[in-house]
Every structure is written in C-alpha cells, then in structure tokens.
Chains A and B, each alone.
Chain A
Amino acid sequence: MFRIRTVLLVAALWALAIGAPPSADAERSLILATTTSVRDSGLLDALLPRFTETSGIGVRVIAVGTGAALRMGREGNADLLLTHAPSAERALVDEGVVARRTPFMQNFFVIAGPETDPAGIARMGSPAEAIAGIVEKRTCWVSRADDSGTHKREKALFRDAGLAPNLERDGLIRTGSGMGLSLQIAGQRRCYILSDIGTFLAFQERVHLVPLSQPSPSLRNVYSLLQLDESRFARPLHREEAEALEAYLLSPSTLEEIGAFGRDRFGRALFTPLTPADAPMQPKP
C-alpha cells in the first residue's frame, strides 16, 4: 500500500508541477488554415515567428488537406485561409464565404518520374501531351486521389489531355495519402506522379525520381490568402488579427523573404512572390 500511495503522490505533484502549457488564449491569436504541402515546405516556420514577435499575435497553424481547409473556411472554423486551389477558392468567393481573395505567391507543379523515362515525356511540349503519352504507353501513374490541391490540378490536366481523370486503367495507383507518401510509392514502383515542387525537392533523392516536365501555365500553382466574410458566421472571427497577418504576408519585406526561401536547403527558391500586378490570368477550369 505504501508504494501505491507514493506513486499517487508523485503523480499528483507532477501533474501540478508541469502546470498549464503556455496558452495563446490570453494573448491575441488567430487560426490559419492551410494545406499540408504548405506546412511541410517549412515556409510558415520561417515567416511566422517574426510576425508574432512584432505584432504579439500568435498564429495557430492548422494544416489539413485542401478540402478540409476550405471547409474550415466555409464553416467559420478558421480565421484566415492559405490555399492553392484556385477554382475551388473562386467558388467560395462566389458563394460569399470569402470576402477577399489575394493570390500572393506561386510555383509550378512538376511531373516526376523514373530516370529512365519509359514514356519519354521529357521531350514533350505540354503536360497534357505528357499525360496522354503516359496513358498511351500504359506506364504507371500514382495519384493522390484525395481531392487535394495537387489532385485537383491532376484532374484538370487529364481533362486537358482529353482523358477521363478517374478512369480505371492499368497502371493507375491511387494512394489517398499525402504527397510525401505518394512520392515514395511512386519511387518504389518507378511510376510517374504529379507533385508540388516543395515536397518533391524534399524527397527527391530518397525516392530516385527526376523532374521531367517543363514549367508551363497549366502547371502553375498559385497560393492565395482568403479573408472570410465575417457576417456569415454566428461566432466572431479574429478579424483584426487575420487582417494583420495578411498585411504582414503581403508586405514587401515578407514577399522578399518568400522569394529567397528554400535556397539553403534545395539550392533554389521554392516560391515566387506575386505583386498584385503579377496576379496571372488563371487558365479557365
């Protein structure tokens, strides 16, 4: 009995001693919903600490799939969205959920594949041709099949190539998983895959895949900030904080940092900042 009492005592003391974690409840904070690929790139880890230091506002980053992030916006479960799924984002604007959409940085998707390039897509001019070639030659293709931003783009590319995106065919592997895991599967099976550049670079060596596509408008990946329309929600959003963060992210010094991000790790920048004038014409869905 003595022993049990001691254990209980120690447990109780320890619970008290560790105490409450630092909570952002007392100070100002907001919830930023973004995608896993953005989070995984590490960009936010580089940018946000300075924001919190100077403004005193904590940013609680919730990284989920694109679908979930947009849904969080729709239901008022986030204060600001950072996503890269233009047509879905525009739909939200049309619905009135999003009050203001601001594209602010971009990069390009890449179609990666085995070094041997069995479908010979390196020589092809457009992604649509590349995909058509892959399908024609029945070489395998890994799809995330999870309605993420990457997946949505993949479907658009298939449509461009005149192919039904979800068609069952030999060599189609649907992972339903994140980018990193899907890349690893593609590497293992020596398949082609569409990937965002950041995750691809992080996994490149490990999976033994090489980028085979050329930058092209249809591979453009535009990241936008979405401010939500407060009046739609019963519970108040952290409006001021969301505005402050947006202002910070769009400030020239931050954009400059964005443009330099990735050089140390990958030898090249992962993102290209956009000024409002740069906001590109989006390809029609």
Chain B
Amino acid sequence: MPSMDDTMLSPLLTITLRTLWICGSALILALLVGVPIGIALGSRQFVSRGLLVSSVNAGMGAPPVVVGLIGSILLARSGPLGELELIYTPYAMILTSTAIALPLVIGLTLAAVGSLDAEWDLQVRTLGIGRRWRIWLLVREIRMGLLAAIIAAMGGILSEVGAVRMVGGNIEGETRVLTTAIMMHTSMGEYEEALGQAAVLVGNMLVLAGLLTWIQQSGRSRG
C-alpha cells in the first residue's frame, strides 16, 4: 500500500496501520543498530568499556519524555537539525522511538553476550571459523536473549505516547498513532473513541507478544 487513501480505509484502520509501521520501523532500526553495538560491547574488554556500559544502563532508565523533549528541541525548525524538516513527521517519531528503545536493546544484548562462556570467541576461533561465521554463530547462541530484547523493546515502543506526541504533533492523517489518539480523545472527553482505540492497541500488543512468546517457548524446548 504505497499510498494510503484515507477515504477508502476507516480512520481507525489507518491509524492502526500507521502505528504498526512507525513502531515496527523503530523496532527494526533499534535492533539493527543496537544488537551490533551490544555484541561489540559484550565481547571485548577495552579501556572505556565501563563508561559505555554505564551510559547504556543509564539510558535504559532514561524517561522517554526526556528523549522526546530533546528530540523536539533538536528537530524543530529553529533547532540545529531544523533543516532536515523532520519535526511533525512520522520519521521524527521513528527516530525518537528508536532512541528510546536503543539502550534497552543494547543492554539486553550485552547481557546475553555476557552470559556466554568467557572464552567462547577464542574457542570458536580456534576452529578456524572466519569472522562472519563467528558472528552468525554468536547471534545464534544468544538468540533467546535477543528475543527477550525484542519483546521488551516492542512493548516500550508501542506504548510510547508523550515523546512521540512531542515530535510528531499528533497530526491527523500524518502523525496520529493509537497512543496519541487515545490521549487526545480522552482530553476531549470522547471516551468511547478512546476505548475503541485502546482495545485495538492492546489487541495488537497481545497478538504480537503472543507470537513472540510462542517463538521463544518453542525455541526453548528445542534447546
């Protein structure tokens, strides 16, 4: 569906699809960036490692609304990144959600790598396995930990409301997602609409969480 014609699809469906698109993109981006960083941090010892790991831990606890605030200041037209014209676009929302989820992904990946044998990499190297394949094997070894990271990040991204509202503006037809719409309808006193959207949101979360849990459990039994 390259272009969504709003009159053809019901508004609720449009908002839902947009929500899934924005949240999914943020999740994928957070994984693409965060997993390699987590692996790199978890595998090696180097001088500034302690500092970086502390930052990651701090980032995991950082309030999303703070990320939203910083994002809206940076991306505003008058801000340093104003030229990019990202403010009040879905891309700003994706970037902000990614920034919120990133420390979580890095932290959980790091923990997963840390749970491996200290000499895991050496042992695999001594089998003469090349770097690319070693990375593949590593990801395979930590896949359960990665799944936990995905589940956690997904939950956080889907429920984000304040930060994405700040950088997205909740513009109808463009940057309105389920969470910001729920807030808006609630502040207008339109509880029926809000509840309907809430049901869709929770429903989506349940389906996705269920799917991931199923993968997790079947992976576990397979060992």
Do A's and B's CB atoms come within 8 Å in the complex?
yes
Residues of A within 8 A of B (CB): 1, 3-4, 7, 11-12, 14-15, 17-25, 31, 36, 39-40, 42, 45, 58, 60-63, 75-77, 178-181, 199, 202-203, 206, 233, 235
Inter-chain contact A77/B78, CB cutoff 8 Å:
yes
Contact B17 A18, beta carbon cutoff 8 Å: yes
Q: B174 touching A23 by the CB < 8 A rule?
A: yes
Among A11, A15, A76, the residue within 8 A (CB) of B78 is: A76
Cβ distance B182 to chain A, nearest Cβ, rounded Å: 13
Q: Give the Cβ gap from A170 to chain B, nearest Cβ, in Å.
A: 29
Q: Of A42, A60, A235, which contacts B82 at CB under 8 A?
A: A235
Q: What 1/0 flags go to B180-214 for Cβ under 8 Å of A?
A: 00001011111000000000000000000000000
Q: Which residues of B contact A36 (CB under 8 A)?
A: 187
Since A24-B174, A235-B77 are in contact, a sample of 6 more A-B pairs with Cβ atoms closer than 8 Å, ordered by chain A residue number, is A3-B215, A18-B21, A40-B184, A58-B173, A77-B87, A235-B82
State whether A11 touches B187 (Cβ < 8 A).
no
Given known pairs A62-B88, A235-B78, A235-B82, the reply for A17 and B187 (CB within 8 Å) is no
> Is B76 an interface position by the 8 A CB rule?
yes
Nearest CB in chain A: distance from B18 CB, A = 6
Q: Are B174 and A22 in contact (CB under 8 A)?
A: yes
Report the bound CA distance from A7 to B83 in whole Å. Answer: 37
Q: Provide the bound-state CA to CA distance between A20 and B25, in Å.
A: 11
Q: Smallest CB–CB gap between B77 and chain A, Å? A: 5
How far is the CB of A39 from the nearest CB of chain B, in Å? 8
Task: List CB contacts (< 8 Å) of B26-83 with chain A.
Answer: 28, 76-78, 82-83
CA separation between A179 and B188, bound complex, in Å? 9
Asked if residues B20 and A18 are in contact (CB atoms below 8 Å), the reply is yes
- B82, B83, B171, B219: the one contacting A62 at CB < 8 Å is B171
B24 in contact (CB, < 8 A): yes
Q: Are A178 and B17 in contact (CB under 8 A)?
A: no
Assess whether A60 is in contact with B186, with CB atoms less than 8 Å apart.
no
30 example contacts (A-B, Cβ-Cβ < 8 A) are as follows A1-B140, A3-B215, A3-B218, A4-B215, A11-B24, A14-B24, A15-B21, A15-B24, A15-B25, A18-B17, A18-B20, A19-B1, A19-B21, A21-B21, A23-B174, A24-B174, A25-B85, A31-B88, A36-B187, A40-B184, A40-B187, A60-B169, A61-B171, A61-B172, A75-B77, A75-B78, A76-B77, A202-B188, A235-B77, A235-B78
Known pairs A21-B90, A76-B77; A45 contacts B17 (CB<8 A): no
